[in-house]
């Protein structure tokens, strides 16, 4: 009885002490002297972590700062609450065929997640750049939460960056050189370098990873001199700067699109120069600018990215002044790289073609006119476009255009290769060129798994129909994105094991530059780096069900020559384009 009475007296004091210790860990002082107050969260399994959310890394790009590079967030005094997500950057989502405009122009914020309690030794840092074609998505939405990755001892940083015209408009002059969305990412990396030690992260062990446009962004930072020293390892998922939608716009294209946007918004007349047009555009509501995205498409949501990166005129703040093919030895050659694609990337496009009859009818009826737009080779003259189209038809459609929901693999392969695989393959060819010096390890994968849910549903594919390992499919094994997108899907045992495997591979790579576990701690086959072309790669996942005895098919298998027959076709196609008809300095489709 006396013991119970004593506990009743002491319990409030014990709770106060525990709360004080917990709240102490949620306070972080940044090098400039100001404080952040975060919040406690738990991972998928209940592991404790700290979350610092909605941290400003640049001033709101409003008013005169619209269409300009990010301006570093100044220091503050005292405490600042960092307990909830900031708004997404203002956008429309063409991939989900969404007409809604959402988000805010005031969106340059990032999140930091760490284990709780804080580790004694500095932890490796993983910085996430989201996909979405540089026109939709958000790094700090709950889609890309820390629920899975923070099961491991890392510091995770995810960030917003400006999208669409607000992030990538370019006049191709010093009035608005462009690439502001990529410059936002650069500012994130600078912020991480300056501040992450305060959260227990190691500023000298930063892995930048991203998917689709986020993956292409990773390769741009491996190219840009301003990013040198700010990243130490890289993971590029389904995207490089050689993918046709990610390549710098041809000379004059960006300016033409900036002019079209100004005309759509009544900001252009015969006497106005770029300065006047930009002033007018800065006075327009951000929603009006974002609303015009669909007016920039020619057919469906093609060309896929109306406002891609650009080659800037030389100036002090330029991020990209050299075309990737002209770079002799990018600093990224010395960084360990993990890179790969999904087996049916093209479902990003073909899922809708297979399930929206009017789209398929148009695609088949106007194939010769539409394919150059869809695959980004409409900058060539008409004869060259026809030549390319004939080669593509003879390779993918030997039996004619008879594709449908039960016979779509060649159509899906065409979009997969034209949009994703050929660009990743070219990046690997150049990286693994025998003349390159000081090449760091390169780990290549093919994600090829049938899970309980597929991203093809998001891109207007039919529910409960499996077409293949769609673009973005691997994301649900790294982030809790599936819990919101696929609420009725029950993960299979294979799904759970694959998730555990991929998290370990990604985190091991972020720690050491090698995805393999410590020798003797796993019965997995060794994922060997590839050192020459054609590449050796790891096939991740399985489309097979469990064996009769209940055992699962292997979820990591080493194979050689990634989709070689198909990438050989694209390499030969590019090599045989008439030299006189290639755009000056651009050797791309």
Candidate from 5-9, 99-103, 569-573 with smallest mean pLDDT: 5-9
Looking at the predicted structure, is the pLDDT value of residue 338 above 60?
yes
State the virtual CA torsion across 402, 406, 410, 413 in degrees, nearest 10: 140
Better pLDDT: 9 or 532 = 532
Is 327 strand, coil or helix? coil
Closest CA to 342 of 419, 245, 397: 419
pLDDT of res. 587: 39
pLDDT in tens, 206-248: 999 999 999 999 999 999 999 999 999 999 999 999 999 999 9
Q: Using CA atoms, how far apart are residues 14 and 145, in angstroms rounded to an integer?
A: 32
pLDDT of res. 536: 96
Q: Using CA atoms, how far apart are residues 39 and 80, in angstroms rounded to an integer?
A: 12
pLDDT of res. 328: 82
List the helix and strand counts (H, then E) for the chain. 16, 14
Mean predicted confidence (pLDDT) in 61-78: 98
* pLDDT level of residue 12 (50, 70, 90 thresholds): very low
Residues carrying an active site annotation: 212, 345
Residues 6+ apart with CB under 8 A from 248: 241, 308, 309, 310, 311, 320, 323, 324
pLDDT of res. 583: 38
Q: Find the helix or strand (DSSP H, E) in which 233 lies.
A: strand 233-237
% of the chain beyond a pLDDT of 70: 92
pLDDT of res. 21: 42
pLDDT of res. 15: 37
CA distances for 168 relative to 94, 308, 373, 394, angstroms: 17, 6, 20, 37
Query: Domains in the chain, start-ordered, CATH in brackets?
Result: 24-335 (3.40.50.1820), 345-579 (3.40.50.1820)
Residue 336 CA to chain centroid, in angstroms?
A: 18
Alpha-helical runs (H) found in 233-333? 253-264, 274-283, 286-291
* Contact (CB, 8 A) for 533 and 442: no
Q: Using CA atoms, how far apart are residues 342 and 445, in angstroms rounded to an integer?
A: 8
pLDDT in tens, 186-205: 999 999 999 999 999 999 99
Tell the residue number behind the tokens 């932890």, with chain if given: 123
Entry pTM:
0.93
């Amino acid at each position: 009885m006396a013991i119970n009475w004593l506990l009743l007296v002491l319990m409030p004091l014990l709770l106060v002490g525990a709360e004080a210790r917990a709240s102490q860990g949620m306070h972080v002082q940044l090098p400039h002297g100001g404080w952040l107050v975060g919040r406690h969260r738990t991972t998928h399994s209940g592991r404790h972590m700290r979350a610092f959310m909605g941290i400003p890394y640049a001033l709101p790009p409003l008013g005169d700062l619209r269409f300009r590079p990010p301006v570093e967030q100044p220091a503050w005094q005292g405490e600042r609450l960092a307990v909830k997500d900031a708004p997404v950057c203002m956008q429309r989502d063409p991939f989900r065929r969404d007409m809604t405009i959402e988000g805010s122009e005031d969106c340059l914020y990032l999140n930091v997640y760490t284990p709780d309690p804080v580790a004694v030794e500095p932890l490796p840092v993983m910085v996430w750049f989201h996909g979405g074609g540089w026109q939709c998505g958000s790094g700090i939405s709950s889609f890309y939460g820390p629920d899975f990755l923070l099961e491991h001892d890392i510091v995770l940083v995810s960030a917003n960056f400006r999208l669409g015209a607000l992030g990538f408009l370019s006049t191709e002059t010093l009035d608005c050189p462009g690439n502001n969305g990529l410059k936002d990412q650069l500012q994130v990396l600078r912020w991480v370098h300056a501040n992450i030690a305060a959260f227990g992260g190691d500023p000298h062990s930063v892995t930048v990873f991203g998917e689709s446009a986020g993956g292409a962004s990773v390769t741009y930072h491996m190219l840009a001199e301003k990013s040198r020293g700010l990243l130490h390892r890289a993971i590029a998922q389904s995207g490089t700067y050689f993918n046709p939608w990610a390549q710098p716009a041809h000379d004059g294209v960006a300016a033409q699109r900036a002019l079209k946007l100004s005309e759509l918004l009544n900001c252009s007349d015969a006497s106005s120069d770029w300065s006047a047009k930009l002033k007018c555009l800065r006075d327009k509501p951000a929603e009006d600018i974002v609303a015009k995205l669909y007016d920039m498409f020619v057919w469906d949501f093609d060309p896929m990215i109306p406002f891609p990166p650009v080659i800037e005129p030389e100036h002090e703040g330029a991020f990209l002044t050299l075309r990737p093919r002209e770079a002799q030895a990018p600093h990224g050659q010395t960084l360990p790289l993990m890179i790969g694609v999904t087996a049916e990337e093209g479902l990003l496009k073909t899922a809708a073609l297979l399930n929206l009859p009017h789209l398929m009818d148009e695609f088949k009826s106007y194939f010769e006119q539409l394919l150059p737009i869809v695959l980004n080779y409409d900058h060539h003259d008409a004869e060259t476009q026809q030549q390319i189209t004939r080669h593509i038809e003879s390779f993918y459609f030997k039996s004619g255009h008879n594709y449908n929901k039960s016979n779509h693999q060649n159509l899906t392969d065409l979009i997969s290769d034209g949009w994703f695989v050929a660009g990743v393959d070219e990046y690997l060819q150049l990286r693994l060129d025998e003349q390159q010096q000081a090449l760091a390890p390169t780990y290549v994968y093919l994600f090829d798994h049938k899970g309980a849910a597929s991203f093809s549903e998001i891109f207007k594919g039919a529910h409960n129909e499996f077409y293949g390992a769609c673009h973005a499919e691997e994301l649900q094994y790294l982030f809790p994105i599936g819990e919101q997108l696929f609420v009725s899907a029950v993960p299979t045992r294979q799904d759970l094991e694959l998730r555990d495997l991929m998290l370990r591979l990604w985190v091991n790579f972020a720690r050491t530059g090698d995805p393999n576990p410590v020798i003797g701690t796993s019965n997995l086959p060794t994922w060997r780096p590839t050192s020459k072309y054609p590449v050796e790669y790891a096939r991740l996942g399985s489309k097979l069900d469990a064996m009769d005895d209940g055992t699962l098919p292997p979820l990591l298998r080493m194979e050689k020559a990634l989709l070689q027959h198909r990438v050989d076709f694209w390499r030969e196609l590019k090599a045989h384009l008439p030299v006189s008809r290639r755009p000056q300095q651009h050797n791309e489709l």
